[in-house]
């Protein structure tokens, strides 16, 4: 039996969708006919149950020679099997009573408007206080599913310092279906970003590889030559211009870590107050007292990158119904945006008064 795992050749934390794994197997030519659920369960071992394999098949996440198959398909020698599956959670956390802004919830999914200062899941420097801790508390009194305690299933995430809408699976069925949708990029995601500078074009597409930074391990960078990193595509559209900054909407075709932040920096328009990528200083405009004070006030109101996950659309894993959620800008972002409107229009009025 020959096994080829595509994820072995990439950095596991390079992708935002690292929560989803693709495995590829080539069946030995001497393999006897065997149901694919039994074959995969035997091959992968304790990492995946037959129940999870069944859900993966039902979601269309198992293909043989490029075609989706059901769990009772019988593998034969030479078959090439692709399996898309959520990676099992590696956290073992204590539930914490942390308030959540819940937009929608049923037996399969929960949709959250994430606070900008909340981390999605535990990691170095963030052992507690995460969205996962909060969800474990929220789920603690719910009955087990598939014989196991209910655990939140992540299939995507947004950075700390980024606000907005996220969906979390509450069942294995939902986890499999949502994993397939995020992997195949059929979800609809739109972000709002305030960036430095006056973007030349009203719309555009950034198609540049993203990989981990060579020196700063917590940063990522663009690789325009495509010699490193992974393909990443961002579509942007200008919504409002304020001369020194621009409000844009961004739609993701891929989901790389820090994708919008890296892509916008690459085209010369770093996110406003994005400390990690140098947006927390004045990048456009003359540094004089009044303007400098205005910028510092904005930074104090919104001490984070100006990025908000505004919308999320997906197909409900059980009903097949299209779901769409929209989150308004949080108070800090909305306040800073209104300050820019007043500043920009006030500056225009002064210029008109000085004109002959």
Active site residues: 159
Q: 75 near 34, Cβ under 8 Å? A: yes
In this structure, the strands spanning 67-68 and 62-64 are: antiparallel
Residue 191's beta-bridge partner residues?
A: 250, 309
Q: Residue 192 is encoded by which pair of tokens? A: 């709002």
Residue that the structure tokens 């892509």 belong to:
263
CA gap 188, 197 in Å, rounded: 27
276 DSSP 8-state letter: G
Residue 237's beta-bridge partner residues?
A: 203, 249
CA distances from 84 to 20, 56, 61, 245 (A): 7, 7, 5, 40
Using the Cα atoms of residue 28, residue 34, residue 36 and residue 42 in order, give the sign of their dihedral. negative
3-state secondary structure of 230: strand
CA gap 284, 343 in Å, rounded: 14
Q: Residue 246 is encoded by which pair of tokens? A: 């621009």
Q: 194 near 336, Cβ under 8 Å? A: yes
Crossing angle for the helix pair 331-354 and 289-301, to the nearest 10 degrees? 160
Structure-derived torsion over alpha carbons of residues 291, 164, 252, 339, reported in degrees to the nearest 10: -20
CA gap 169, 317 in Å, rounded: 9
Q: Residue 338 is encoded by which pair of tokens? A: 């209104």
CA gap 123, 217 in Å, rounded: 14
One DSSP character per residue, 217-257 reads: TT-EEEETTSSSSB--EEEEEEEEE-SSEEEEEEEESS-BT
């Amino acid at each position: 039996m020959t096994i080829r795992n595509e994820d072995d050749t990439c950095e596991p934390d390079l992708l935002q969708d690292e929560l989803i794994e693709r495995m590829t197997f080539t069946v030995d030519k001497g393999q006897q006919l065997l149901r694919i659920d039994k074959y995969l369960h035997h091959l992968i071992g304790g990492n995946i149950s037959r129940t999870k394999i069944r859900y993966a098949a039902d979601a269309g996440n198992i293909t043989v020679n490029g075609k989706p198959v059901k769990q009772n398909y019988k593998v034969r020698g030479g078959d090439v099997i692709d399996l898309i599956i959520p990676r099992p959670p590696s956290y073992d956390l204590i539930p914490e009573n942390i308030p959540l802004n819940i937009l929608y919830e049923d037996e399969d999914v929960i949709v959250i408007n994430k606070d900008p200062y909340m981390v999605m899941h535990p990691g170095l420097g963030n052992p507690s206080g995460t969205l996962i801790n909060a969800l474990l508390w929220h789920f603690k009194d719910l009955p087990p599913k598939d014989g196991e305690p209910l655990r939140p299933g992540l299939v995507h995430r947004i950075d700390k310092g980024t606000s907005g809408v996220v969906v979390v699976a509450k069942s294995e069925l939902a986890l499999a279906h949502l994993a397939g949708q995020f992997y195949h990029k059929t979800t609809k995601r739109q972000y709002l970003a305030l960036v430095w500078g006056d973007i030349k074009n009203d719309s555009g597409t950034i198609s540049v590889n993203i990989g981990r930074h060579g020196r700063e391990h917590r940063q990522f960078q663009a690789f325009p030559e495509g010699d490193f990193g992974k393909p990443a595509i961002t579509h942007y559209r200008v919504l409002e211009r304020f001369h020194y900054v621009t409000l844009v909407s961004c739609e993701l075709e891929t989901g790389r870590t820090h994708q919008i932040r890296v892509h916008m920096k690459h085209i010369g328009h770093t996110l406003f107050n994005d400390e990690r990528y140098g947006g927390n200083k004045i990048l456009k405009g003359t540094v004089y007292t009044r303007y400098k004070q205005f910028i510092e006030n904005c930074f104090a109101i919104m001490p984070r990158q100006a990025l908000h996950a505004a919308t999320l659309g997906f197909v409900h894993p059980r009903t097949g119904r299209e779901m769409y959620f929209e989150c308004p800008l949080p108070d800090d972002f909305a306040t800073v945006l209104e300050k820019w409107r007043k500043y920009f229009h006030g500056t225009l009025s002064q210029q008109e008064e000085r004109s002959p």
